[in-house]
Amino acid sequence: MTTWGYARREATKRFFEKPYTIHYPFTDIKAFEGYRGRILLQLSKCVGCGLCARVCPASAIEMVADEKIKPAGKRPHFKLAECCYCALCAEYCPKGAIQLTTDYHLYGFEKEDVVEEVKTE
């Protein structure tokens, strides 16, 4: 087929199609199940062992003092601006206290503003 033939065929075919792009800020895009987004820490399950901070390849996890956590008295704090979202912390957590949610809206005016979601119950 000649170039003109292609052009005509493509133009007629595409003319009746819907736009392929999504109007993103106005239409929400849902991430697939299993997406590695914002980290969710369940404080009720955490024992403060610090294994997550040791396995983290990006050194994005800091152990901060928290009296409510027993027996260690400290809990992980995730600096998500430094995180590489590899989910090793969730994989190696012995109590299953760390999960990665499908929330991909990770933004903030300062790097320190982008942090994990903490669930106390």
Residue with tokens 């996890």: 61
The site for another protein (CB under 8 A) is made up of: 1-3, 6, 10, 20, 31-32, 34-36, 54-55, 57-58, 84-88, 91-92, 100
Nearer to another protein, 45 or 85 (CB): 85
Rank residues 105 and 121 by Cβ distance to another protein and give the closer one: 105
Q: Is the peptide bond before 25 cis (omega within 30 degrees of 0)?
A: no
Closest approach of another protein to the CB of residue 35, in Å: 5
The CA distance from 119 to 121, in Å, is 6
Name the residue nearer to another protein (CB basis): 43 or 101.
101
Q: To the nearest whole angstrom, how small is the minimum distance from the Cβ of residue 84 to another protein?
A: 6
What is the Cα–Cα distance from 56 to 84, expressed in whole angstroms? 9
